[in-house]
A and B are shown apart, each in its own frame.
Chain A
Amino acid sequence: MADAPEQRKVFAPWLDTTQKPLIRFENVTKRFGDYTALDNLTLDIYEREFFALLGPSGCGKTTMLRLLAGFETPTSGRILIGGEDISHVPPNKRPVNMMFQSYALFPHMTVEKNIGFGLKQEGQSAEAINERVKEMLALVQLEPFAQRKPHQLSGGQRQRVALARSLAKRPTLLLLDEPLGALDKKLREKTQFELMTLQEKLGMTFMIVTHDQEEAMTMASRIAVMDKGVVMQLDTPSDIYEAPNSRYVADFIGNVNFIECTVISHNGQEYQLKDKQGNQFRLISEVQLETGSTIWLAVRPEKVIVSKEQPQGDVNAVQGIVWDIAYSGDTSTYHVRLPDGTTLKSEMANLRRVRNRPITWEDTVWLSWSLTAAVPLKR
């Protein structure tokens, strides 16, 4: 398969109307006393998806996971798996397994017994269990540790045992609750790719809960950004990043500059905007904007260029003073204060070594971005 890249089809079952969803939330509401954790949620998840729930703590993402696992039952609405209503099926009767944030490994059992636990509950024969456990140990590369107890393993190894245990029963859906939260950064990045490879290899449906936006961006086929029990936006990682539908989503994922503007006029898809200070901006956007309405321009810092000379050509430009420089090795973020006191951020790749770079604190600089760089947000 030399020409594999061309044959590789785009995985987007949510665009295909003939596809049936594997999991369906139908108007699901969950209340704990007066507190509404999930508010009338309707959502489809397709087979083989790597679905990420992203949001701050208390946004309802964990509640969704626990509803799927069966630890909670919805206050109203239905949850379907493969067309079957499982809203009130107990956790031990569901084709769903979960990998817990704390890993929840049984401390009194060896690695082998932990992984085989679910199979033993199914009443499988000792040989069958043994074989499957071996397979799982090989999958997570823990063969030498079969006889160890959890407290004799490192954090990364425990994480892999937990993963193996939740995969052993071949669940239709695997739930991952902040699976990488306890690992350090390097190991976390490595494990992200391992998880993705594994998911592709096994052809299973994964649903991950995380508050780490980078993790969700890297791994997921689709991301649901949640806030206060409501899904704010459900899209692919690139659409969420490049075309956020609200300031909440734009701000939650990555860094962003907001400029409040009024729409002055437009010519086709090209709009004239004016901010409170009277700076005029031009914007090319497919989104219909009403003349006279107030919108927010969202510009990602990496799309803003900082320069000493006034930029030429078809760009938006403002002048300001370098207030702060956040150096993070590969990139530097320039915090530039505008005459009206607001700050815009510009992230520049450090292509040259630091001492050769000309821009420093208190310098007067130009910030510029192209006509298509900004996204207009109505809310």
Chain B
Amino acid sequence: MNVSRFSWFNLTSLIIAFSFLYLPILLLILFSFNASKLVTVWGGFSTKWYVSLFQNEMFMTAAWVTLKVAVVSATLATILGTMAAIVLTRVGRFRGRLLFSGMVYSPLVMPEVITGLALLLLFVAIGLDRGYWTITLAHTTLTMCFVTVVVSSRLVSFDKSLEEAALDLGCTKLSAFFQVTFPIILPAIIAGWLLAFTLSLDDLVIASFTSGPGSTTLPMKIYSQVRLGLNPEINALSTLLILLVSVGVIIASLVSKRAEEQNV
């Protein structure tokens, strides 16, 4: 296979695929350093939009709301998702297992508009005031299944005799979980958390359905601003978001790679 690695065909495919994926993002990053106020005309290098971004209180408030929602919902989703993963992979067969696993994974394929609408209806029906907490709950619903997928794929490959060895050496079931299972699946849990965090960070649809006054998230803010006209500040903001998400994804993959190496 080494011979064909650098063939023209492969190289061209690579360039086309990556340009398709990253050209828009590169343009956005480039124009965030544009000195001109016109978004499409290059006027020299400048970081002034970053400065003005940090002075823009509207954006800062939205960023804070987004972060809070992302951290709390990712944490809730990780706890619930891990519990579901354990039940699905560990508790053998039980009545309705197939139904249950199907239901856990359904948000993966459910159109977000429908999830958002359904959640909105629920919140209205139970009289929950829409705001920060409703977005958080909605995002937990959305991201939980992703955590379940990540954690259960780790649990499936987990050697069950490790838990038995812990029991054999004097652990109760609970302490076997915390001393053996948990530390071993922790990288998957962290990866799941980071995935949930980034998903919550960039969600627009569900947040739009479930937000209320005073709890606008960053993607919502960007969207509404863009409708009023393009603004270089938004480029700067988006660049920062890209940076944050990339760091999250890179950490997640590093963590799971390291865990893989330790796994014998």
Interface residues of A (CB under 8 A from B): 69-71, 90-92, 96-98, 100-102, 104-108, 117-118, 121-122, 149-151, 158, 165-166, 169
Q: Are B159 and A92 in contact, with the CB atoms below 8 A? A: no
Q: How far is the CA of A182 from the CA of B159 in the complex (A)?
A: 16
B206 to chain A, nearest CB (A): 36
Interface residues of B (CB under 8 A from A): 159, 161-162, 164-172, 175, 180, 183-184, 261-264
Most A CB contacts (10 A, CB to CB) among B165, B170, B172 go to B165
Q: How far is the CA of A104 from the CA of B161 in the complex (A)?
A: 6
Q: Are A69 and B168 in contact, with the CB atoms below 8 A? A: yes
Q: Are A118 and B184 in contact, with the CB atoms below 8 A? A: no
Q: Are A121 and B169 in contact, with the CB atoms below 8 A? A: yes
Q: Are A104 and B162 in contact, with the CB atoms below 8 A? A: yes
Q: Are B263 and A91 in contact, with the CB atoms below 8 A? A: no
Q: How many A-B residue pairs have CB under 8 A?
A: 67
Q: Are A169 and B169 in contact, with the CB atoms below 8 A? A: yes
Q: Are B170 and A151 in contact, with the CB atoms below 8 A? A: no
Residues of chain A within 8 A of B261, CB atoms compared = 151
Cβ-defined partner of A106 (8 Å) among B162, B164, B167, B168: B162
Residues of chain B within 8 A of A97, CB atoms compared = 168-169
A105's nearest neighbour on chain B, judged by CB, is B264
A-B contact pairs, 10 of them (CB 8 A): A69-B168, A71-B164, A91-B164, A98-B168, A104-B159, A107-B263, A108-B262, A122-B170, A149-B262, A151-B261
Q: How far is the CA of A102 from the CA of B159 in the complex (A)?
A: 8
Q: Are B171 and A92 in contact, with the CB atoms below 8 A? A: yes
Residues of chain A within 8 A of B172, CB atoms compared = 92
Residues of chain B within 8 A of A158, CB atoms compared = 264
> Other than the known A70-B167, A108-B262, A121-B171, what 8 A-B pairs have Cβ atoms closer than 8 Å?
A71-B167, A98-B164, A105-B264, A106-B162, A107-B184, A107-B262, A108-B183, A118-B169
B51 to chain A, nearest CB (A): 46
Q: How far is the CA of A91 from the CA of B168 in the complex (A)?
A: 5
Residues of chain A within 8 A of B171, CB atoms compared = 92, 121
- Interface SS of chain B: helix, strand, loop or mixed? helix
Q: How far is the CA of A158 from the CA of B168 in the complex (A)?
A: 18
Q: Are A100 and B161 in contact, with the CB atoms below 8 A? A: yes
Residues of chain A within 8 A of B159, CB atoms compared = 102, 104
Q: 3 shortest A-B CB distances, which residue pairs?
A: A121-B170, A118-B169, A104-B165
Q: How far is the CA of A117 from the CA of B164 in the complex (A)?
A: 13
Residues of chain B within 8 A of A96, CB atoms compared = 168
Q: How far is the CA of A106 from the CA of B185 in the complex (A)?
A: 12
B177 to chain A, nearest CB (A): 13
Cβ-defined partner of A91 (8 Å) among B162, B167, B175, B184: B167
B225 to chain A, nearest CB (A): 47
Q: How far is the CA of A121 from the CA of B170 in the complex (A)?
A: 6
**A150-B264, A151-B263 are contacts. A102–B170 as well, Cβ < 8 Å?**
no
B200 to chain A, nearest CB (A): 29
Q: Are B170 and A104 in contact, with the CB atoms below 8 A? A: no
B159's nearest neighbour on chain A, judged by CB, is A102
Residues of chain B within 8 A of A169, CB atoms compared = 169-170
A92's nearest neighbour on chain B, judged by CB, is B170
Residues of chain B within 8 A of A149, CB atoms compared = 262
Residues of chain A within 8 A of B184, CB atoms compared = 106-108
Q: How far is the CA of A122 from the CA of B168 in the complex (A)?
A: 12
Q: How far is the CA of A316 from the CA of B261 in the complex (A)?
A: 63
Residues of chain A within 8 A of B180, CB atoms compared = 106
Q: Are A151 and B262 in contact, with the CB atoms below 8 A? A: yes
B182's nearest neighbour on chain A, judged by CB, is A108
Residues of chain A within 8 A of B263, CB atoms compared = 107, 151
